[in-house]
Structure 1
């Protein structure tokens, strides 16, 4: 079967309600008057990765469990509007939802509705196998029940990546993803010793590359046993929201990976994409384009244009 999908994104489809707050942590009070207000829109981790990949010209397909509800309609519309194929499997508990509290400096705190994580423990294997067999790479979001799909993806021969987000290095829920993936992303925010955690993932699992992002401090890159620091990219505008920056980083990195770039170059692409995401208000979507990514990664004016990499 021809692999006519560059990246199959599995999981992480949902809807966020974005609430702008005066600061974080939010001071206790009976009420707060907030501006610019409250907005509900489609877009969680898997959605943002898929949007970022598609904006960079990669053939992208998204698959997840989605409810027959208003929130599910928002997710379907998001993919339709951006031309991203979506395989929406029925979810009896409804579409995943979250509330994001966003401060004026762009920091955010997310509240996830855990009841939406309930549902079937197994996925339709035939559908997963079919899409995996047509994909060069699969990016798996750590939402239930996608851990069950990891062996199917491995059998199909696609390379795998995952994002552990703010893993503390100990919670066993994340381990199935961490040890099955060839490429692992995670945040350094909750790690006492990021290097130790990264080397542990590489030693115990399949990953040859592990990336720990650290916001404005850049990222740590462990590639084939060598640890290096990747500087943060300069945002192209004011930082207004950090939501989705890690997902954008993953999309930029995967763009480089699937174009045959070395890990440091991939990480540079990730840093540029993540910095761009921080300038996009959480009430809308706006992933960096291929032209802008290549130009900013090279340190040139995007208007000048660059010849894209092969692939």
Structure 2
């Protein structure tokens, strides 16, 4: 186990792994015996927890990441990524191996992710004392929905440290997501699978602890429910051509949390999120790059169309 447990602004729980990126000519990909991939097939560290941690660190927040990692080449890539960006990492042994996925990326930046669920075991757990120690040294904890983070929620809520989570493309019905949705103080999700985003956002707030719930909607902006009031957050034009949507939701969440921990009101936090999410769409999936604080603040201050 590697560890660096100094005080942190944000503890990120779970979501460490590697992705293999394949740019395909179309999504859905028509059946064929084979495809020639001229752009190459690349494997790099970076799944949802890694991207959240990278985004927070790029904005100047002291960030620590806790997850299970295998003693394998994929785990080595994750460890190297954290060293390169100065992000504290507590890596607990995972005999089943480091989480991995394959991302098929279409010409318009959309992606299809294939997750390897064999890299987990039903009995996987984070040691409660480790959770208490790292959460107690943090101002905020962001919990990804990867296994086994759900089993950590009871310990985390007992610490009293504010929690956030990202439900990704939850349909509002899948029971797996509910413990995360109702335990967090700030909830992010995508509106992609929601027929009525406002109804889902209000149900999360009514049944859980969240005073702030945000549903991102791509080019249509986002829905922000804060203290019972629903507002629409306009999208921000990307600063360059859109090449990949991978990591846009993580970038939004990281920038929103930066604003929240800086004392900004929810509307300003959402503006930060929109700027960071638009920036992320201009970064190829084969790279791990996040917007910095100076550029975020400069672009967020620009007049709105």
Structure 1 residue aligned with 2:35, among 32, 36, 40? 32
SS at match of 1:117: coil
Matches within 5 A, 1:110-149: 110-149=113-152
Q: Measure how far apart 1:152 and its partner are.
A: 1.5
Q: How many residues align?
A: 299
Matches within 5 A, 1:83-102: 83-102=86-105
What's the CA shift string for 1:245-267, capped at 9, x where partnerless?
00000000000000000000000
Q: Which stretches in structure 1 are left out of the alignment for 5+ residues?
A: 301-311
Correspondence for 2:268: 265
Q: Does 1:237 align with 2:240?
A: yes
Q: Which stretches in structure 2 are left out of the alignment for 5+ residues?
A: 1-5
What's the CA shift string for 1:43-78, capped at 9, x where partnerless?
000000000000000000000011111100000000
Structure 2 residue aligned with 1:192, among 195, 198, 205? 195
What's the CA shift string for 1:1-39, capped at 9, x where partnerless?
xx9310000000000000010011101111111231210
Q: Measure how far apart 1:211 and its partner are.
A: 0.2
Residues 1:132 and 1:172: Cα distance change in structure 2 (over 3 Å): same
Structure 2 residue aligned with 1:168, among 168, 171, 174? 171
Q: Does 1:61 align with 2:64?
A: yes
Distance (whole Å) between structure 2 residues aligned to residue 169 and residue 118 of structure 1 = 26
TM-score of the two chains, using structure 1 as the length reference = 0.94
Structure 2 residue aligned with 1:256, among 255, 259, 268? 259
SS at match of 2:118: helix
SS at match of 1:114: coil
Contact 1:91/1:119 (CA < 8 Å) preserved in 2? no
Q: Does 1:225 align with 2:228?
A: yes
Q: Which moved more, 1:289-298 or 1:121-130?
A: 121-130
Distance (whole Å) between structure 2 residues aligned to residue 42 and residue 263 of structure 1 = 31
TM-score of the two chains, using structure 2 as the length reference = 0.96
